[in-house]
Amino acid sequence: MQYSLGIDAGGTYTDAILISDSDRSVVMSNKALTTYPDHIEGIRNAIDGIDEKYLKNVDVISVSTTLATNTVLEDTGYPVGLILIGDHSLNKNFPTSDIIFVAGGHDHMGDELKPLDVDAIKNFVLGSKGRVSAFAVSSHFSIRNPEHELKTKQLISKLTGMPVVCGHELTQDIGAYERAVTAYLNAQLLPVGENFIEAMISEIKRRDMDARLLMLKCDGSVVGIRDALERPIETIFSGPAASLIGASFLSGLESCVVIDVGGTSTDVSMLSEGVPDISEAGAVIGKWQTRVKAIHMETSAMGGDSHIWTKDNDLFIGPRRVEPICVAAVKYPGFPEKLKNIKWISRKLLDENVQPTKFFVRTRQEPMELNEDENMILSVIGDDPLSFDDISMMLKKPPSPFVLSSLISKRLVQAIGFTPTDVLHVLGEYDQWDQEASKLVADVLAKLNTMGKYEMCSLLKKRFARNMAFELMSYLLPGVDPESIGGIVDRKFKARFDVEIPVVFIGGPVSAYRDEVSSFIKADIIVPKYSDVGNAAGALFGKGVKRLEIMIRPLSLSEPDKDFFVYSPGGREKFNTYVEALEFVNEHGRDLIYSYMAECGIMENKVSVTVAEEAISPEGWHHPPMETKLIFVGVGVF
């Protein structure tokens, strides 16, 4: 008998689920803590919970992860140098200060506007290579002619040997700014994706498993490992995509709304008759609009491991993720005893990193290019959790909160703090870890806000559930003013939202929030069996899907019957007639689809290809179309 193994690596847990290929039944599942920043131990522990007698007969391993999503949401990605070629807007915000605008680029026909300023690129690359881990390149109208991007990529590779991402490699959509942001985020995530995939491959080899390794993309389809390595941004919402597909599988519903509560975020998405709701405009990741085709969803930086902190007699949840107190109390010997003697901090000093209930430990990440203050603080942080007061005593002065934040962003320090997971432990609704440790810290936070710990935790749980209800209704009511949605959710009017489609909860202890969410909205809320490993199940049931667009345009509208350009992901090619161009596109598009599917391990006879044609011709036009776009969609079945 053959089996399939689904693995989901989240910010907190790495889950594994074993499915029988014959009847798609769940054989067994396991949860393990995600290990940070090296994921191999967490993956190994998750797989260890699956009976070894089944592993030799695993044919396919499919993986999903929220690690890339969390990296962007928490702003903990690797530094990237961004090179913008041609006419890019100077009024836009870009996600890096290591940026240069250089002459070059092409027009909408793919003709060169200006020669590429090679010297400016060379000086920028050599000057910034010590500060960055990769480079991103985006040239004006590279979707019509990628020549300048490719030339820049070759130059950077020759000068540095560092990874380079080009905008045209990721999307063929118009939008120079969004394409540049997409390229930047992809470059930022390359080390994250590479480390994760290498950990997966090494673990499969160690166990002598003969299985194909696939990854779920953010549109609910799967890709081979090579594509996942080159385009990690396409896996950026694979966790939410997995939750959507997994929720459908576990609940047996073809149409439903899914709320996935993870460690870092809460995500809402929808499935209609088995088809995910796709955002054609491109995924919005944090505050950045991209051109990545992804499942349409609402996401908020509030998850089970979001840091709960206090300032000015108020309580805040997130946006940064920390290791929960209850988990750390099990991991670090002596930490529970330390929690009995928490030192108070002046209320005037309190901010997100200056909390009596926040602690810091060193990770295994190797430091790069640290300044003097960062080196000084890092030198005193070790394997045992230290409070802000501990660090102050060791340095003989208070550490800068900004430097602490920088060390966390660079993955050199892991923060520990009070979280919604701790809240559920205090209230007795979740008992996976150390309940007493959560209560000790809850006492301190509650006293800072002049209330009891149970009162505070009930308030925080309600606030978390309110966020779930608000994100759900924001998703279902696009374009409606958030303030109006919030007013109805908060029952400020004599009205209540009634959700007609079933709502499926996926994630850890999500059942604890069912009644609270029901107090805000009326809905049929379902928490299926194995909901705690729903993403791992979803990783297995994505199909092999490849979408690509190829465009045909005449060289000149004054002579529209001869000379045509074909714009494809591989670049620009010229043909004498429209018929020749169309024949090439139909053959080339299918070849690209079949080649991609073969890399995923899908035979050609298991692939269906559909082609949609969109032609633009004005009324009375008696020539070949002014523009023809052919959209190829290949669907492969494993």
For range 417-424, the mean pLDDT: 96
Question: What are residue 59's phi and psi, to 5 degrees?
Answer: -95, -35
- Whether the CB-CB separation of 289 and 405 falls below 8 Å is answered with no
Q: What is the pLDDT of residue 126?
A: 92
**CA 272/CA 291 separation, integer angstroms:** 23
- Name the nearest CA neighbour of 490 among 470, 513, 514, 510: 470
Residue with tokens 């009995």: 340
Residue with tokens 């301190």: 444
**CA 261/CA 249 separation, integer angstroms:** 18
- Whether the CB-CB separation of 118 and 156 falls below 8 Å is answered with no
Per this entry, what is the length of the chain?
Answer: 638
Please give the residue that has the higher pLDDT: either 279 or 457: 457
Q: What is the pLDDT of residue 515?
A: 92
Q: What is the pLDDT of residue 416?
A: 96
With 0.75 as the threshold, say if the pTM is over it.
no
Q: Is 607 left (phi over 0), alpha (psi -120 to 50) or beta?
A: beta
SS3 556: coil
Q: Identity (one letter) of the amino acid at 224?
A: G
- Percent of the residues in the chain that have a pLDDT greater than 70, as a whole number: 88
pLDDT of 547 above 80? no
- Name the nearest CA neighbour of 197 among 15, 39, 352, 6: 39
Sheet holding 80-85, edge to edge: 99-102, 80-85, 134-139, 164-166
**Structure tokens given for 77:** 């990605």
C-alpha triplet 299, 496, 240: angle, nearest 5°: 20
In this prediction, residue 582 has a pLDDT band, given cuts at 50, 70 and 90, of very high
For residue 508, the 8-state DSSP code is S
For range 608-627, the mean pLDDT: 89
- Whether the CB-CB separation of 10 and 263 falls below 8 Å is answered with yes
Strand partners, 216: 222
Q: What is the pLDDT of residue 230?
A: 62
- Whether the CB-CB separation of 386 and 354 falls below 8 Å is answered with no
Q: What is the pLDDT of residue 633?
A: 81
**CA 27/CA 429 separation, integer angstroms:** 27
For range 567-592, the mean pLDDT: 90
- Name the nearest CA neighbour of 305 among 264, 267, 266: 264
In the chain, what are the helix, strand and coil shares in percent, each to the nearest 5? 40, 25, 35
Q: What is the pLDDT of residue 204?
A: 84
Packed helices 453-476 and 435-448: angle between N→C axes, nearest 10 degrees:
90
- Name the nearest CA neighbour of 553 among 623, 627, 614: 627
In this prediction, residue 35 has a pLDDT band, given cuts at 50, 70 and 90, of confident
pLDDT of 330 above 60? yes
Q: What is the pLDDT of residue 444?
A: 95
DSSP secondary structure string, 520-580? TSB--EE--TTGGGHHHHHHHS-EEEEEEEEEEEES-TTSTTS-EEEEETTEEEEESSHHH
Q: What is the pLDDT of residue 441?
A: 96
Q: What is the pLDDT of residue 422?
A: 97
Residue with tokens 């002596």: 334
For range 490-501, the mean pLDDT: 89
Please give the residue that has the higher pLDDT: either 308 or 130: 308
pLDDT of 234 above 90? no
**Structure tokens given for 554:** 């005449």
**Structure tokens given for 277:** 């709701």
Q: What is the pLDDT of residue 340?
A: 92
What's the whole-number average pLDDT of the chain?
Answer: 84
Query: Which of 39-43, 423-427, 517-521, 537-541 comes out lowest in average pLDDT?
Result: 537-541
**Structure tokens given for 335:** 């930490």
pLDDT of 323 above 80? yes
pLDDT of 589 above 80? yes
Strands 13-20 and 3-9: antiparallel
DSSP secondary structure string, 204-262? HHHTT---EEEEE-TTSEEEEHHHHHH-GGGGTTHHHHHHHHHHHHHHT-SSEEEEEE-
Q: Identity (one letter) of the amino acid at 219?
A: D
For range 428-444, the mean pLDDT: 94
Residue with tokens 């509208």: 557
**CA 125/CA 519 separation, integer angstroms:** 56
In this prediction, residue 576 has a pLDDT band, given cuts at 50, 70 and 90, of very high
In this prediction, residue 267 has a pLDDT band, given cuts at 50, 70 and 90, of confident
For range 627-634, the mean pLDDT: 88
For range 46-59, the mean pLDDT: 89
pLDDT of 285 above 60? no
Q: What is the pLDDT of residue 239?
A: 63
Query: Which of 20-29, 167-176, 425-434, 479-488 comes out lowest in average pLDDT?
Result: 167-176
Q: What is the pLDDT of residue 195?
A: 74
For range 194-203, the mean pLDDT: 78
Q: What is the pLDDT of residue 469?
A: 93
Sheet holding 323-324, edge to edge: 323-324, 413-417, 359-362, 386-387
pLDDT of 296 above 90? no
pLDDT of 493 above 60? yes
**CA 59/CA 483 separation, integer angstroms:** 50
In this prediction, residue 552 has a pLDDT band, given cuts at 50, 70 and 90, of very high
Q: Is 273 left (phi over 0), alpha (psi -120 to 50) or beta?
A: left
pLDDT of 347 above 90? no
**Structure tokens given for 471:** 């994100």
Strands 284-285 and 99-102: unpaired
For residue 301, the 8-state DSSP code is S
- Percent of the residues in the chain that have a pLDDT greater than 90, as a whole number: 34
Q: Identity (one letter) of the amino acid at 371?
A: N
* pLDDT 10s digits, 120-149: 999 999 998 888 888 988 888 877 788 898
In this prediction, residue 236 has a pLDDT band, given cuts at 50, 70 and 90, of low
Packed helices 372-380 and 388-395: angle between N→C axes, nearest 10 degrees:
110
Element (H, E) at 415: strand 413-417
Query: Which of 139-143, 284-288, 306-310, 338-342 comes out lowest in average pLDDT?
Result: 284-288
- Whether the CB-CB separation of 422 and 326 falls below 8 Å is answered with yes
Q: What is the pLDDT of residue 283?
A: 57
Show me where the domains of the chain are located.
Answer: 1-212+228-234, 306-456, 543-636
- Whether the CB-CB separation of 82 and 167 falls below 8 Å is answered with no
pLDDT of 592 above 60? yes
The CA–CA distances, whole Å, from 630 to 327, 506, 612 equal 52, 38, 6
In this prediction, residue 67 has a pLDDT band, given cuts at 50, 70 and 90, of low
Q: What is the pLDDT of residue 450?
A: 93
Question: What are residue 400's phi and psi, to 5 degrees?
Answer: -70, 125
In this prediction, residue 447 has a pLDDT band, given cuts at 50, 70 and 90, of very high
Element (H, E) at 366: none
Q: What is the pLDDT of residue 429?
A: 94
- Whether the CB-CB separation of 186 and 171 falls below 8 Å is answered with no
Q: Which parts of 381-432 fold into alpha helices (H)?
A: 388-395, 401-409, 420-426
Q: What is the pLDDT of residue 220?
A: 59
* pLDDT 10s digits, 148-180: 988 999 999 899 988 888 887 766 666 677 777
Q: What is the pLDDT of residue 473?
A: 93
**CA 29/CA 538 separation, integer angstroms:** 13
**CA 226/CA 486 separation, integer angstroms:** 44
In this prediction, residue 570 has a pLDDT band, given cuts at 50, 70 and 90, of confident
